């Protein structure tokens, strides 16, 4: 199994290209199920999760072709064609490794009138039930059955009649599934307290490009007027705001100046505001963001929250960064109850982090020291990379398959801006 070796201490300087957003791409891919015409997605990141979702779509009889696949290219172009869907079952062996697989439930139900999907897997960062997905679909007229680890959803003859649902708490995945089911409903579907993440807007924009009618895009109240059919489209996946924020934290931690090509401040405002509070320079430039840092960082008190609040997917990276702040920082995780698994690994490197329940107190230290560490989930992996970039000596990060789920060619991008980092095979 591969490892990443980092010899810390180098400041970062140059340009890093920001890839297409993983969290958006995994939502746009299942939209191919909604039409019998080709759907072409540009700027798809090269990630293990994208490959896994492609295999899942092939399971349904969907053809997929890839262009722009030269090794030196970042991003790919994929065309998916669901002229004829041959299976409405998403099996356990394909779904178990990737939680986003549940997102085939809504579009498959809408197109085929039925869908059977294994209960999902993914990172072990806490309990992430799918009950809100199912309740929203039931509100639109679906019948739901749970048996033997599978969800079976069935629409009435003629399609989902439509309806209204108010989410008791904000759920990104449930909003996405409900949207994709609603666009082919026989009537009108209304969602209240819907998620507002940029990835939701990206999904809505693609669905509209395919002929859907959606009111309230970007707000928490969405009205979807169902259509008899959707058509194909060509669409560019938005840039990855979490990847951009992660590299910004790396620059803030190590010092230096980097241009994040393709980053959009408006889509990651809470992250940018938090960086500025810590004394990091973040300013828009043509086609991206310039991030610069020198000297000790200021401490920070912040809580994760649904968009437009501070993203839970940025918590681990900020924790690593704040290890080098001048003072104590307080992080509160409100989204997932088990997202501090990186704390023991950071403490192995000389960090001083205390946790109590959902709160972590990060005491800034003069230095971190390289050590062998183990990644526990996707964003925790990146926190260890950031710590390794600033640590004295050598850091060895194992179980990096987590990283490959969400960061396209990470070691190559960091090497471009001066990091001493390499991927090595297992002994």
Decide if 123 is catalytic.
yes
Q: Residue 131 annotated as binding?
A: yes
Q: Residue 313 annotated as binding?
A: yes
Report residue 246: phi and psi, to 5°.
-65, -45
Q: Residue 128 annotated as binding?
A: yes
- Report yes or no: 266 and 306 within 8 Å, Cβ to Cβ: no
With the CA atoms of 274, 275, 277 and 283 taken in that order, what torsion angle do they form, in degrees rounded to the nearest 10?
Answer: -110
Which is nearest to 352 in space by CA: 340, 343, 315? Answer: 343
At 247, list the tokens: 């590299």
The β-bridge relationship of strands 222-225 and 188-192 is antiparallel
Which is nearest to 202 in space by CA: 251, 267, 256? Answer: 267
Q: Residue 99 annotated as binding?
A: yes
Alpha carbon 340 to its chain's center = 18
At 236, list the tokens: 């560019």
Q: Residue 16 annotated as binding?
A: no
- 3-state DSSP assignment of residue 292: strand
Q: Residue 105 annotated as binding?
A: no
Under the phi-then-psi rule, with left for phi > 0, alpha for psi from -120 to 50, and beta for the rest, what region is 193? left
The Cα diameter of the chain in Å comes to: 66
- Report yes or no: 398 and 427 within 8 Å, Cβ to Cβ: no
At 20, list the tokens: 């297409």
Which is nearest to 243 in space by CA: 218, 260, 257? Answer: 260
- Out of 123, 204, 249, 278, the active site residue is 123
Give ∠ CA 147-152-154 in degrees, rounded to 5.
140
Q: Residue 22 annotated as binding?
A: yes
Cβ neighbours for 287, distance < 8 A, ≥ 6 positions apart: 261, 262
- Report yes or no: 235 and 209 within 8 Å, Cβ to Cβ: yes
- Report yes or no: 163 and 224 within 8 Å, Cβ to Cβ: no
Give ∠ CA 350-354-355 in degrees, rounded to 5.
135
Q: Report the side by side order of strands in the sheet with 359-363.
A: 301-303, 328-332, 359-363, 352-356
Residues in the chain, overall count: 427
DSSP state letter for 120: P
Angle of the 105-112 helix axis to the 131-139 helix axis, nearest 10: 30
What is d(CA 106, CA 179) in angstroms, rounded to the nearest whole number?
A: 8
Q: Residue 23 annotated as binding?
A: yes
What is d(CA 210, CA 318) in angstroms, rounded to the nearest whole number?
A: 38
* Residue list for the binding site for phosphoenolpyruvate: 22-23
User: Which are the catalytic amino acids?
Assistant: 123
* Residue list for the binding site for UDP-N-acetyl-alpha-D-glucosamine: 99, 128-132, 313, 335
* Residue list for the binding site: 22-23, 99, 128-132, 313, 335
């Amino acid at each position: 199994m591969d490892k990443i070796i980092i010899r810390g201490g180098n400041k970062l300087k140059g340009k890093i290209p920001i890839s297409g957003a993983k969290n958006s791409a995994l939502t746009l891919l299942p939209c191919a199920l909604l039409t019998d015409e080709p759907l072409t997605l540009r700027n798809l990141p090269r990630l293990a999760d994208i490959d896994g979702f492609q295999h899942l779509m092939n399971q349904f009889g969907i053809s997929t072709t890839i262009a722009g696949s030269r090794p030196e290219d970042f991003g790919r172009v994929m065309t998916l064609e669901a002229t004829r869907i041959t299976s409405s079952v998403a099996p356990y062996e394909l779904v178990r490794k990737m939680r986003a697989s549940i997102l085939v439930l809504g579009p498959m139900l809408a197109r085929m009138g039925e869908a059977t999907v294994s209960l999902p897997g993914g990172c072990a960062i806490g309990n992430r039930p799918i009950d809100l997905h199912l309740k929203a679909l039931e509100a639109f007229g679906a019948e739901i059955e749970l048996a033997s680890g599978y969800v079976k959803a069935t629409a009435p003859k003629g399609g989902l009649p439509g309806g209204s649902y108010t989410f008791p708490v904000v759920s990104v995945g449930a909003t996405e599934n409900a949207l994709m089911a609603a666009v082919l409903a026989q009537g009108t579907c209304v969602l209240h307290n819907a998620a507002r993440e940029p990835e939701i807007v990206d999904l809505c924009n693609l669905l509209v490009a395919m002929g859907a009618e959606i009111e309230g895009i970007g707000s928490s109240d969405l009205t979807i007027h169902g259509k008899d059919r959707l058509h194909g489209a060509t669409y560019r996946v938005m840039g990855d705001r979490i990847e951009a924020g992660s590299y910004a934290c790396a620059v803030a931690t190590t010092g230096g100046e980097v241009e994040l090509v393709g980053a959009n401040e408006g889509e990651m405002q809470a992250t940018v505001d938090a960086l500025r509070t810590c004394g990091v320079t973040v300013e828009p430039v043509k086609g991206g963001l310039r991030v610069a840092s020198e000297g000790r960082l200021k401490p920070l008190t912040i809580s994760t929250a649904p968009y437009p609040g501070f993203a839970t997917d940025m918590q681990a990276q900020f924790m690593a960064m704040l290890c080098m702040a001048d003072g104590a920082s307080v992080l509160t995780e409100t989204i997932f109850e088990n997202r501090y698994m990186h704390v023991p690994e950071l403490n192995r490197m000389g960090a001083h982090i205390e946790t109590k329940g959902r709160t972590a107190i990060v005491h800034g230290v003069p230095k971190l020291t390289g050590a062998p560490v183990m990644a526990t989930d996707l964003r925790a992996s990146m926190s260890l990379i950031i710590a390794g970039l600033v640590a004295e000596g050598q850091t060895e990060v194992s179980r990096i398959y987590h990283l490959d789920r969400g960061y396209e060619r990470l070691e190559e991008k960091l090497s471009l801006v001066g990091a001493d980092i390499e991927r090595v095979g297992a002994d």
